[in-house]
């Protein structure tokens, strides 16, 4: 074998690696970093992994289907349904991740963060404490003790799940754009 043959993966190996990347992104349902993808593919080479995932993302783009692979901050990748299809098929989902009230509480926290839990309860009502516990359980919100209350913030899991920036000011702008279609919600949050 020549040096060139050992450096370039065979077409069959390359196809198998691409299929493993695709399977990992599909099953995870959340963003994956290169280290995690590498553990599935069986390589530690970040440049090879980047090439594999970006090749797969380009393939999905060329297909012009309903799924897409996006590269997020810190070289993390996610496979997801394109936003234009989510609205049309979301009612087919067997069980939403969160109840509508918890989603509204989450939106309020995301837009106002950092925000005191007591303030959220004042605006959203007494049932908010159960909703906040649920949001913490899913890892979407974190709470930091401050005196008699807690200060609530969204987590990186929240940013990744909803494909939003991790930087609060930019996230607020992204949320405002998303909420423009739902004027009454914007008024409650703003």
Token readout for 98 is: 């969160």
Tokens of 2: 């020549």
Question: Which residue has 């530690």 as its token pair?
Answer: 44
Owner of token pair 């609205």: 87
Spell out the CATH class of 10-88.
mainly alpha
Domain boundaries, the chain: 10-88, 100-189
Within its chain, how far is the Cα of 34 from the centroid?
16
The per-residue pLDDT for range 106-162, each reduced to its tens digit, is 989 998 989 999 999 999 988 899 999 999 988 899 999 988 889 999 998 888 777
10-88 and 100-189 agree in CATH topology: yes
Note the CATH number of domain 100-189. Answer: 1.10.10.10
Exposure pattern of 139-170 as b/e (b: 16+ CB <10 Å)? ebbbbeeeeeebbbbbbbebbbbbebeeebee
Residue 114 CB: number of other CB atoms within 10 A? 13
Please state the pTM of the whole predicted model.
Answer: 0.57
Helix (H) and strand (E) counts for the chain?
11, 6
Ordered per-residue pLDDT tens for the chain, 190 residues? 444 444 556 778 888 899 999 999 998 888 888 999 999 999 999 999 999 999 999 999 999 999 999 988 778 899 998 888 877 887 776 566 778 888 889 989 998 989 999 999 999 988 899 999 999 988 899 999 988 889 999 998 888 777 788 888 888 888 888 777 555 444 444 4
């Amino acid at each position: 074998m020549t040096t060139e043959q050992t450096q370039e993966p065979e077409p069959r190996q390359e196809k198998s690696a691409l299929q493993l990347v695709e399977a990992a992104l599909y099953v995870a349902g959340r963003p994956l970093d290169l280290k995690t993808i590498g553990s599935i593919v069986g390589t530690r080479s970040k440049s090879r992994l980047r090439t594999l995932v970006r090749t797969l993302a380009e393939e999905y783009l060329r297909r012009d289907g309903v799924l897409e692979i996006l590269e997020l901050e810190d070289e993390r990748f996610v496979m997801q349904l394109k936003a234009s299809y989510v609205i049309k098929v979301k009612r087919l989902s067997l069980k939403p991740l969160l109840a509508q009230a918890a989603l509204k509480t989450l939106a309020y926290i995301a837009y106002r963060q950092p925000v005191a839990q007591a303030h959220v309860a004042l605006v959203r009502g007494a049932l908010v404490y159960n909703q906040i516990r649920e949001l913490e359980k899913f890892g979407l919100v974190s709470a930091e003790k401050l005196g008699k209350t807690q200060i609530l913030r969204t987590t990186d899991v929240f940013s990744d799940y909803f494909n939003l920036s991790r930087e609060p000011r930019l996230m607020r702008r992204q949320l405002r754009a998303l909420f423009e279609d739902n004027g009454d919600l914007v008024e409650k949050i703003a």
